[in-house]
Structure 1
């Protein structure tokens, strides 16, 4: 077996993550992809020049850039370090000919672009990840777009890619949208509705998952000059016609789900000298506050000073019972951390994890059990029986084409006796391309195999 240091993960590569007691440093947290997506779409829909500082860079970002250009905007980096992006918006998406957009493996990018694509005469959405994004459903959103006057066709009755939409001449009215599987359907309609030209009223049925993402959408739309009336439960909306997006400058905060992986990696180490200090984490962020509360409940050693979060290792952790819907993208790494906490942990209200890049309940639990963890998957929950002494490891585990699973398995490797070898590591590029290189800089043994 030949091993060498890692800089970037490439297709077909395997990485060995060694057991590690001590990590230390001040890693740079990636920018929030959720804010980047929403601010960039708002900038694309504004007539004039906008500016985004610290946009996220990842495979998802590249898919987003392709989509915004296809809608008619012009994007240009200000500097070689890609710290700021200038966007010349179009006001209203437009194209004279049929458009094709490859959305890669970016589910949120796809869903939000599906709505805006209905303003074009014809657009087809494709993916080069047929076994991942190609199997994620979009039926409810396509039905809502049909109710607004668009013609939609998909590869299956569940709305799988490829999807073709023929729109351009939409009308307002009252529509319903399910919030049971994804909040992204609703966010897509909220971006589209102000540009239709008639009042739109939206009723959410079957409950609403991942409400923090909807509140982020509403906040960004308000900053962009769009007024949306809604009830406190986020189930009823009214969007008046005649509104316009405003061009402006936006600053992207750090990404809490990516930070969660780093925080968990430090919390799981045995050496009390382990310490990570993470900056650019915006206080008051709903997902961030839920994450920090969960770590405190597990008795992790946390300190928050403005936008900086510091965590130390070497603490005895305790199991928790957590409603995971408020921080759904953080759940895989929290489950990994709970594998080494005393007692039982229960992560519930997480059924939507079945419909992500992988089945983040069954696939995650299968790989954790392979590594030696005691986890039980359920339809809407994961039950963990902690093993503070660590696990055996020494096996090959599969990331299932999913960046969140790769981060969780890397956390487990740190407390395994013989480390873990990860496959499919190139998929980390979806949100955090330099994650493994960052772990190596912090003191973790990461080797190409």
Structure 2
């Protein structure tokens, strides 16, 4: 599906948007629910990834196809490896077979798991024969994707002796690790995170509870970007969010103050208001703890005509696409001067907007949504616009609520 997107007739927007549950929290809680059925979950994400995770957890044998869902690949690898009498082949899209899984497989094998590669060493598809894992100690490089770490932590309470996980080196994506430990705590699992060692105690059963998933802060990022590019006085209200969020992307509240956006909490709603212009002409951000909002911030900076330098982006190379190269390609089409390395991005200040550019989305939901706010500056086309369903199926409908002109080509 190809879409044409253009700005509302007025850029002083006032609107309310309801965003469904966080994909990150949903997939963690779904795995915990599979291990501990006494858990009930409300406000589940309606994303493709959450649907794939739910379907995968119901399979006991045969092939489990997770399509583009990287979180499901990592979490289900750990889940099936620890489940006796379950034997599956875990596979996905062509891009998924290019995304490494070796670090997690090696860690699970060291705990006694039986996992083999069906094609290329270190990559899906993988064959898993579930076993009772009794070993308790494992180590992982600390600078890898937090999803590998969280995959092990989520199955840890179901292991007979729990788990002691040592992270070797400098830890990145700490908020996602803390999110996982926070959710474990909410269901009554004891854990500790001291220095580079995480310990999770075993738990044979948990007390029945209802876990309510907070709405997704990553999805909120696109509205922060929209507000930043609109007139002073613009207000968008989003639900439902917590002041004490477990999500690392809640750092948006602080980052977007640099771009003149103020965040206030009204009950479980946040109100984003444009109160001024960018404070500086150039910004530096270390996004090691929140890499998923890098695309949104880069696009906001370009739309505002400010320069930025971003570090801590090494995990973006192995996402749905190589997000750094994709950002470079699409922003360059629009007229930007941008350079990237394997872990940094440099954008020069510019406001030369090429009109009617077709944005390629690379099978990456965030490429589509991060670029959409630029329709406030220039009309755009989006190739394969339906990719947003991976995390936010209602995105284009919500853009229409803000009076953006959304037309299928």
Q: TM-score, structure 2 length as denominator?
A: 0.92
The whole-number CA distance in structure 2 between the counterparts of 1:375 and 1:413 is: 20
CA contact (8 A) 1:291 1:327 kept: no
- Equivalent residue number for residue 211 of structure 2: 250
Deviation, 1:448, is 0.6
- 1:192 counterpart = 2:155: yes
Gaps of 5+ in 1: 1-12, 71-94
Q: Which deviations, in whole Å up to 9, do the C-alpha atoms of 1:107-134 show, x marking residues without a partner?
A: 112211111101234221121x212x22
- Equivalent residue number for residue 81 of structure 1: none
User: Which secondary structure state, in structure 1, belongs to the residue aligned with residue 152 of structure 2?
Assistant: helix
The whole-number CA distance in structure 2 between the counterparts of 1:239 and 1:273 is: 47
The whole-number CA distance in structure 1 between the counterparts of 2:263 and 2:352 is: 22
Find 2:88's aligned residue among 123, 127, 151. 123
Q: Which deviations, in whole Å up to 9, do the C-alpha atoms of 1:382-407 show, x marking residues without a partner?
A: 112233x4512322120111011111
The whole-number CA distance in structure 1 between the counterparts of 2:275 and 2:258 is: 16
The whole-number CA distance in structure 1 between the counterparts of 2:211 and 2:98 is: 33
Q: CA RMSD in A?
A: 2.0
- Equivalent residue number for residue 303 of structure 2: 340
Find 1:33's aligned residue among 3, 23, 34. 23
Deviation, 1:158, is 5.3
The whole-number CA distance in structure 2 between the counterparts of 1:358 and 1:157 is: 19
CA contact (8 A) 1:276 1:312 kept: yes
CA contact (8 A) 2:240 2:268 kept: yes
4+ aligned runs moved over 6 Å, structure 1: none
The whole-number CA distance in structure 2 between the counterparts of 1:156 and 1:316 is: 53
The whole-number CA distance in structure 2 between the counterparts of 1:304 and 1:54 is: 19
With 19-28 and 422-431 compared, the bigger mean Cα shift is at 19-28
User: Which secondary structure state, in structure 1, belongs to the residue aligned with residue 18 of structure 2?
Assistant: coil
- Equivalent residue number for residue 16 of structure 1: 4
The whole-number CA distance in structure 1 between the counterparts of 2:121 and 2:176 is: 23
User: Which secondary structure state, in structure 2, belongs to the residue aligned with residue 320 of structure 1?
Assistant: strand
Deviation, 1:46, is 1.1
User: Which secondary structure state, in structure 2, belongs to the residue aligned with residue 345 of structure 1?
Assistant: strand
- 1:207 counterpart = 2:207: no
With 147-156 and 54-63 compared, the bigger mean Cα shift is at 147-156
The whole-number CA distance in structure 2 between the counterparts of 1:335 and 1:264 is: 10
User: Which secondary structure state, in structure 2, belongs to the residue aligned with residue 331 of structure 1?
Assistant: helix
With 148-157 and 109-118 compared, the bigger mean Cα shift is at 148-157
The whole-number CA distance in structure 2 between the counterparts of 1:239 and 1:352 is: 25
Deviation, 1:322, is 0.9
The whole-number CA distance in structure 2 between the counterparts of 1:242 and 1:288 is: 30
User: Which secondary structure state, in structure 2, belongs to the residue aligned with residue 108 of structure 1?
Assistant: helix
The whole-number CA distance in structure 1 between the counterparts of 2:40 and 2:210 is: 5
- 1:372 counterpart = 2:335: yes
Find 2:136's aligned residue among 158, 161, 173. 173
Find 1:400's aligned residue among 349, 359, 362. 362
CA separation of 1:313/1:154 partners in 2, compared to 1, >3 Å: closer, same or farther?
A: same
Find 1:60's aligned residue among 42, 49, 53. 49
The whole-number CA distance in structure 2 between the counterparts of 1:352 and 1:218 is: 21
User: Which secondary structure state, in structure 1, belongs to the residue aligned with residue 153 of structure 2?
Assistant: helix
Deviation, 1:313, is 4.3
Deviation, 1:288, is 4.5
CA separation of 1:230/1:312 partners in 2, compared to 1, >3 Å: closer, same or farther?
A: closer
The whole-number CA distance in structure 2 between the counterparts of 1:306 and 1:328 is: 28
Deviation, 1:306, is 4.3
The whole-number CA distance in structure 2 between the counterparts of 1:58 and 1:290 is: 22
User: Which secondary structure state, in structure 1, belongs to the residue aligned with residue 36 of structure 2?
Assistant: coil
CA contact (8 A) 2:253 2:262 kept: no
Gaps of 5+ in 2: none
Find 1:282's aligned residue among 242, 245, 264. 242
The whole-number CA distance in structure 2 between the counterparts of 1:273 and 1:392 is: 27
CA separation of 1:292/1:114 partners in 2, compared to 1, >3 Å: closer, same or farther?
A: same
The number of residue pairs the alignment matches comes to: 402
- Equivalent residue number for residue 43 of structure 1: 33
- Equivalent residue number for residue 400 of structure 2: 440
CA separation of 1:169/1:307 partners in 2, compared to 1, >3 Å: closer, same or farther?
A: closer
Q: Which deviations, in whole Å up to 9, do the C-alpha atoms of 1:366-424 show, x marking residues without a partner?
A: 1111012232212211112233x4512322120111011111121223212xx111102
CA separation of 1:288/1:356 partners in 2, compared to 1, >3 Å: closer, same or farther?
A: closer
CA separation of 1:392/1:47 partners in 2, compared to 1, >3 Å: closer, same or farther?
A: closer
The whole-number CA distance in structure 1 between the counterparts of 2:105 and 2:33 is: 24
Find 1:297's aligned residue among 249, 255, 258. 258
